[in-house]
Structure 1
Amino acid sequence: MKLWLFFTLALLWLEVQNGMCQQVKRKKEAGENRIRPGRKRVRYPKVKEKEVGSKGQSILTQVLDKGHFLRPGESLSLSPGKTLELRCKGTNIGWAYPSYLDTFNDNRLSIKQHERYSQLILTTPSAADTGEYSCWVVLCDGEECSKDGDSTSSTYIYFTDKDELFVLSAIHFEIIFLRPDKPATIPCRVTNPKIKVSLHREVPAEEIDVNGTQISYSPTKGFIIQNPSPEHKGAYYCKANSTTKTTPQISTKYQLLYVEVPSGPPFATIKASSDVVSGGDIFNVTCTVLGEPEMNVSFSWRYPGLGQRPVIIHDSWRLINRGMGHTTRISQSVMIVDDVETIDYGKYICTTKNKYGETLVATTVKSHE
């Protein structure tokens, strides 16, 4: 009986020991499991190719030094003299910059397309180079290429010069046309956005009130007249006050002319010096167009002796004042017919054309007999 009891107690003791060992083992495994997640590799989502260079992302950078780049904002202020280098990301890039660099075929400017970017370099920049610089991706389908407007990046660069407060102009006296249907700009731009500028009329001598509504000022554009009227015509200039000098600087002079004729196809008339002529006479036919001062007009003629009779054609234009000081461009083409023959009798047709369209006018020259 005692032997059986002893055997039972021994088995019970063994079960208790096994249970404790398993509990310790489970605690150890649980501890190991808490450490393992810290060593797991984290998976990051892949960036799709089409997301790179998406709308709103600037592709323009300024090279500061070897290996150092700056993504410019809306404007930059740089010292003149130091070479400017801009880069634009893309395999086919278009550029825009102050137009006079093209006008004078300036060899200080160079543009080179590399494998992954385009590079613009302007050596020894000066105050005159102040302006907007922009680039964009050019998309081509075969031989047809177009500008990708969504990719355009730009910055306005001031080349600050303490001696040149205004951006220099090749024109010393500039004509500006005022139109009632759109704002007009007096383009006295400055080389430093902190410069204070005022607008002045020559006759009567006075400073113009710039209230920010009817007339406002932008250092990148100049003075903007929102609703031009005849009272704004006259001679003007701008005055800039330097932060380092007591003597102000005067800009180019501007002549403001108010335009009467609205935009549209040519308004043309035709008139012969005589509607009835005799053999051997001389007469002329004049075709006249009144239009916008800056609007070029071309003339072409059809007449009875076309291809058979020699004629003299003289084209000209000038600015005139009409009505209450309105400025208009008068363009004329005059055809002269000398030593009239029978073939010269008939209809004379003048075709006038501008960028808005064309207008035909005609008159008839008859025989006196």
Structure 2
Amino acid sequence: MKIWIFFTLALLWLEMQPGVCQQFKRKKEAGENRVRQGRKKVKVRYPKVKEKDAISKSQSLLTQVLDKGRFLKVGETLFLNPGKTLELRCKGTNIDWSYPSNLDTFNDSRLSIKQQERYSQLIVTSPSAADTGEYSCWPILCDGQECQKDSENTSASYIFFTDKDEMFVPSAIHFEIIYLRPDKPATIPCRVTNPKIRVSLHREVPPEEIFIDGTEISYNPMKGFVFQNPSPEHKGAYYCKANSTSKSTPEISTKYQLLYVEVPSGPPFASIEASSSTARGGDIFNVTCTVFGEPEENVSFSWIFPGKVSFTVV
């Protein structure tokens, strides 16, 4: 009788062992899944602030309109064919522009700038090699009536209008005077319409090609030949020569007369003079303001007189 009871208990114990093992195994696997899921959540958690900062730093204000609905982010340089209308857009509600000075000559009607609700639009119709240069834009920040340029958010691009018939950027000046000063670099502005064009510098008297060492004298296709430390030996008459594989004959640039000036450059000063020291009602008299300083520098005059607010004439 006791043996039969012992045998029955042994069978019951053997049947219960697999269920206990399976239950323990299931609990262990569930625990492992919870730990694995927890690690996955931590792995994909990124700081959102840094991501936004990276996006904002990569954004540029300046874009080119290719066709209707197609836009291109403009880089540091851009190569375009002359003749096709150029349209640039700059993001912002109050934008100012800078562009090659020849577009301001005689109030060139090919240039138009319009401020839209969210961007400013610059259009140049029938662009040519002469329009090669830097185009830039920046927001204008105003506090009441005082406004200033937001230099930190300026976007710029140098645009080459590549023309196989015009290797040098055309200039309305056929003989240009360049002043050499001991305290700052000087530039012979023979710029090209394609940076792949080979350019050399030549002196007229004595006739010779100038050696370009890349340090004291260097060439930049967007600026010209740069003299880092001008000296009296550099004065004289010069010209640039351009050679290209697409053109059989070389092209000669504008002539440049380099004059050495011993006196360092300084700020301009003004002198004012009236045609009469006294006047009665109804009389006409003249007030002349003369500025003395660097030649060929852009000068703006600000006038203040009784009964009128100040105004500026460029």
Shorter chain as denominator, the TM-score bin is: 0.7 to 0.9
Equivalent residue, structure 2, for 1:325: none
Equivalent residue, structure 1, for 2:253: 251
Q: Is structure 2 residue 204 aligned with structure 1 residue 233?
A: no
Task: For residue 14 of structure 2, give the secondary structure of its aligned residue in structure 1.
Answer: helix
Give the conservation status (yes or no) of the 8 Å contact 1:130–1:159.
yes
CA displacement at 1:205 relative to structure 2: 2.6
In 2 relative to 1, CA 86–301 (structure 1 residues): closer, same or farther, beyond 3 Å?
Answer: closer
Q: Deviations over 1:244-268 (max 9, x none)?
A: 1221111112222222444347xxx
CA displacement at 1:190 relative to structure 2: 0.3
Which has the larger share of strand?
A: 1
Equivalent residue, structure 1, for 2:137: 135
Q: Deviations over 1:134-159 (max 9, x none)?
A: 22233332332222222222221111
Equivalent residue, structure 2, for 1:338: none
CA displacement at 1:88 relative to structure 2: 3.1
Q: Is structure 2 residue 197 aligned with structure 1 residue 195?
A: yes
In 2 relative to 1, CA 100–29 (structure 1 residues): closer, same or farther, beyond 3 Å?
Answer: farther
Task: For residue 248 of structure 2, give the secondary structure of its aligned residue in structure 1.
Answer: coil
* Residue identity in the other structure for 1:224: V
* Residue identity in the other structure for 1:307: T
Please give the alpha-carbon distance, in whole angstroms, between the structure 1 residues aligned to 2:6 and 2:109.
109
Equivalent residue, structure 1, for 2:103: 101
Give the conservation status (yes or no) of the 8 Å contact 2:102–2:130.
no
Equivalent residue, structure 2, for 1:307: 278
Give the conservation status (yes or no) of the 8 Å contact 2:140–2:148.
yes
Equivalent of residue 298 in structure 1, options 271, 288, 293: 271
Equivalent residue, structure 1, for 2:21: 23
Please give the alpha-carbon distance, in whole angstroms, between the structure 2 residues aligned to 1:175 and 1:296.
22
Equivalent of residue 13 in structure 1, options 5, 11, 14: 11
Give the conservation status (yes or no) of the 8 Å contact 1:237–1:253.
yes
CA displacement at 1:15 relative to structure 2: 3.8
CA RMSD, Structure 1 to Structure 2 (Å)? 3.8
Equivalent residue, structure 1, for 2:75: 73
In 2 relative to 1, CA 177–35 (structure 1 residues): closer, same or farther, beyond 3 Å?
Answer: same
| TM-score, length-scaled by structure 2 | 0.74
Q: How does 1:170-181 map to 2 (within 5 A)?
A: 170-181=172-183
Q: Is structure 2 residue 182 aligned with structure 1 residue 209?
A: no
Please give the alpha-carbon distance, in whole angstroms, between the structure 2 residues aligned to 1:204 and 1:211.
20
Equivalent residue, structure 2, for 1:349: none
Larger radius of gyration: 1
Give the conservation status (yes or no) of the 8 Å contact 2:181–2:265.
no
Which has the larger share of helix?
A: 2
CA displacement at 1:114 relative to structure 2: 4.2
Please give the alpha-carbon distance, in whole angstroms, between the structure 1 residues aligned to 2:52 and 2:59.
13
Task: For residue 300 of structure 1, give the secondary structure of its aligned residue in structure 2.
Answer: strand
Q: Which consecutive unaligned segments of at least 5 residues does structure 2 have? A: 280-284, 301-314
Q: Which consecutive unaligned segments of at least 5 residues does structure 1 have? A: 266-294, 318-327, 330-353, 356-369
In 2 relative to 1, CA 180–107 (structure 1 residues): closer, same or farther, beyond 3 Å?
Answer: same
* Residue identity in the other structure for 1:168: P
CA displacement at 1:195 relative to structure 2: 0.6
* Residue identity in the other structure for 2:7: L
| TM-score, length-scaled by structure 1 | 0.64
Equivalent of residue 151 in structure 1, options 146, 150, 153: 153
Equivalent residue, structure 1, for 2:309: none
Task: For residue 48 of structure 2, give the secondary structure of its aligned residue in structure 1.
Answer: coil
Give the conservation status (yes or no) of the 8 Å contact 1:55–1:151.
no
Please give the alpha-carbon distance, in whole angstroms, between the structure 2 residues aligned to 1:195 and 1:172.
21
Identity among equivalent positions (%) equals 66
Please give the alpha-carbon distance, in whole angstroms, between the structure 2 residues aligned to 1:73 and 1:19.
74
CA displacement at 1:52 relative to structure 2: 6.1
Q: Is structure 2 residue 91 aligned with structure 1 residue 89?
A: yes
Q: Deviations over 1:54-105 (max 9, x none)?
A: 5575333334445554434332222222233333334433322212223333
Please give the alpha-carbon distance, in whole angstroms, between the structure 1 residues aligned to 2:143 and 2:233.
52
Equivalent residue, structure 2, for 1:123: 125
* Residue identity in the other structure for 2:172: A
CA displacement at 1:163 relative to structure 2: 0.2
User: Mean Cα displacement is larger for which, 246-255 or 118-127?
Assistant: 118-127
Equivalent residue, structure 2, for 1:219: 221
